[in-house]
Amino acid sequence: MKSFTTHQGLVAPLEMMNVDTDQIIPKQFLKRIERTGYGDVLFYDWRYLDDGKTPSPEFEPNAARYQGASILLAKDNFGCGSSREHAPWALSDYGFRVLIAPSFADIFYNNCFNNGLLPVILDSATVQNLFKEVRATEGYTLTVDLENQKIIKQDGAVIPFDIQPFLKQRLLNGWDQIGLTLRHEEKITEYERTRALVYSRRA
Amino acid sequence: MAKTIYEKIWDAHMVYEPDGQDSIVYIDRHYVHEVTSPQAFEGLRLAGRSVRRPELTFATMDHNIPTTNRALPIADILSRAQVETLKRNCEEFGVECFDMHDPRNGIVHVVGPELGLTLPGMTIVCGDSHTSTHGAFGALAHGIGTSEVEHVLATQTLLQKRSKTMEVRINGVIPPGVTAKDIILAVIGRIGTSGGTGHVIEYTGEAVRRLSMEARMTICNMSIEAGARAGLISPDETTFEYLEGRPLLPKNKTRDELVEEWKQWASDPGCAYDMVVELNAEEIEPQVTWGTSPEMVTGVKGHVPVPDEIEDPDKKLACVKALEYMGLEPGIPMESIPVDVVFIGSCTNGRMEDLREAAKVFRGHKKADPVQVLVVPGSRVVKKQAEAEGLDKIFLEAGCEWREPGCSMCLAMNDDRLKPGERCAATSNRNFEGRQGKGGRTHLVSPAMAAAAAVSGHFVDVRDWVYKEA
Ligand code: SF4
């Protein structure tokens, strides 16, 4: 997996609460059996007009000034709904490395860490203020320093953020989860030998 | 110390709890479907890994499959490839697969329980958010992403952190005409779609105790729509009775031994939760959603909200956008909203009792003329049973389409989908923009409410329904 240390990038705003994974990537694109190639259809229904090609002028991140953005500023409960990992695949394939919101849905949040995508939780007032600044300043960038858990603005102002230590380590090191777990394989075997529910095996 | 069912299951499945890291939790049952698994199997293949416990893993095809003639090959090339990939992966890795033609085929969350694969005290996962359904049996069940599917396939464990617990207590007795679907929609209306974030919900209270297993599944199914990690109901006599004689129960124990084991999982009297929410069942009306999130819901006698009356700026904006998408005027009565399509099915409401309820409303009535009505059983077992009871005839006589089982118009990945602007009364679980087809407008309701809307051509209060005998 990709590791994540620091990232500097252009910020794009998506001001809508409860953005669901059906919206991040609609179902017709879940039929593929690969992990890549979902970036072009990210936010498909919002992003394109009915022809499925022409960028919709109403979708704010489509604006010329936000092209090339790699940090997405979002609202409460981002990523709710379906567990589809296609959502973080599409966000990261599009070029996003960091998502900032007041809250994320659980499964989605978890899925991000398995794909080198950093979801940062900040309080609502701070997020709201960032929305204001992003819109007020063309070319608005942020630097996200995961090691030191801080976001640095262009003027040098710092916003600290919290993250669970283990999740942070996972991203910093780009660890292969399965490999890590299998380092404890003898514990799994021991569990299976002594404690696994008898009825979970069909005799 | 008195423990909740969540704490009991969590503790019993702890393989390893390293300091400051996620815990390694053992998984008793892993369900797999065609959409979220191909990349996981591919990952195993690339790393040269195998499925650690194929006998604890079961696959079904449900999302992509057509609900029309199964004898024909799937017309959509990508859907067909995905279904065939699952079949091949299952063969290669030794996993049992209920394919399209298997008599046990159906929606993953309908099939597991009805076969007796979902049991109290288990940990259950699936690459599907509605895995919460299985919590109705007192199993800790939740949806996972594809990387985690691969992790479970390879290790039979999952990395998890302990959740907080939330008790949702439904006091009293639900009035006639009000169903499990209305209870859970009312709960979501109360706590919101992120109300359960970080929590595992346990549903308790007299109203829940009185519910059948199928109704309990409807409630747990939509826990994810309340943002919860999982939903649970402590097992009791209703659970044990339901499980009696299910075909894939463990065969190495007698029924009495199994029941003894199952009983121990129920929450202890006096256990404590991190948060408690209470609702009075007597106050719950049949619910109808008006917006594009399940929390945008009201009683059938209610009205579409007026954005100007909403203070919170985010909620106001969400309401304006939702009403625009849904094509609804602020303030109009819910009962005045006409429907074009009615969808009865899904893992929320595609079981026998749901079909019986809908059939009871349809009996002796005809659907309103322009309305298209799809009735899609949740599994082939359900379909067969419904036909044995003659429900298919009632549906057909009322002018409904009686389809083959599958996810169908719940997410519209196959050919069953709304056209832009079409308005649908759906018994499924999500009213997100475009969920049932781009531009489609979804109102979530119970099966009885959906049937009543189909006959009336618009939403009506099913509590006033005039039932006709056969
Ligand atoms: S019926 Fe709908 S919610 Fe249930 S598994 Fe299928 S697509 Fe998901």
| pLDDT band at residue B268 under the 50/70/90 scheme | very high
Work out the percent of chain B whose per-residue pLDDT is above 90: 94
Residue type, A122: L
Per residue in B366-425, pLDDT tens? 999 999 999 999 999 999 999 999 999 999 999 999 999 999 999 998 889 999 999 999
Chain A CB within 8 Å of residue B49 CB: yes
Query: Is residue B224 in contact with ligand 1, taking CB distance under 6 Å?
Result: no
Ligand 1 site-directed mutation target among B67, B79, B218, B346, most atoms within 8 Å of CB: B346
Rounded to the nearest whole angstrom, what is the distance from the C-alpha of residue B460 to the centroid of ligand 1?
Answer: 26
Q: Global pTM?
A: 0.95
Chain B CB within 8 Å of residue A97 CB: no
| Residue ID of nearest Cα to ligand 1 atom 4 | B347
- Tell me, what's the pLDDT at A202? 40
- Tell me, what's the pLDDT at B380? 97
Per residue in A120-151, pLDDT tens? 999 999 999 999 999 999 999 999 999 999 99
Cβ(A18)–Cβ(A70) below 8 Å: no
- Tell me, what's the pLDDT at B97? 97
Integer Cα distance of A96 and A93 in angstroms = 7
Least confident of A59-73, B141-155, B246-260, B397-411: B246-260
Least confident of B70-74, B315-319, B423-427, B429-433: B70-74
Per residue in B109-125, pLDDT tens? 999 999 999 999 999 99
When pLDDT is averaged across residues B443-461 and rounded to a whole number, the result is 98
- The ipTM of this complex is 0.92
Burial of A53 (0-12, 13-18, 19+ CB in 10 A): exposed
When pLDDT is averaged across residues B265-270 and rounded to a whole number, the result is 97
pLDDT < 50 stretches in chain A: 199-203
Rounded to the nearest whole angstrom, what is the distance from the C-alpha of residue B337 to the centroid of ligand 1?
Answer: 26
Integer Cα distance of A9 and A95 in angstroms = 10
| pLDDT band at residue B341 under the 50/70/90 scheme | very high
Chain B CB within 8 Å of residue A189 CB: no
Per residue in B426-449, pLDDT tens? 999 999 999 999 999 999 999 999
Residue with more model confidence, B456 or A3: B456
- Tell me, what's the pLDDT at B252? 84
- Tell me, what's the pLDDT at A200? 47
- Tell me, what's the pLDDT at B470? 64
Cβ(B225)–Cβ(B294) below 8 Å: yes
> How many CA atoms within 13 Å lie on the side-chain side of A37?
8
Q: Is the pLDDT of residue B350 over 70?
A: yes
- Tell me, what's the pLDDT at A198? 52
CA distances from B108 to B74, B126, B127, B210, B424 (A): 19, 9, 10, 25, 24
Question: Which residues in chain A have their CB less than 8 angstroms from residue B442's CB?
Answer: none
- Tell me, what's the pLDDT at A203? 35
Q: What angle do CA B168, B172, B173 make, to 5 degrees?
A: 110
Chain B CB within 8 Å of residue A93 CB: no
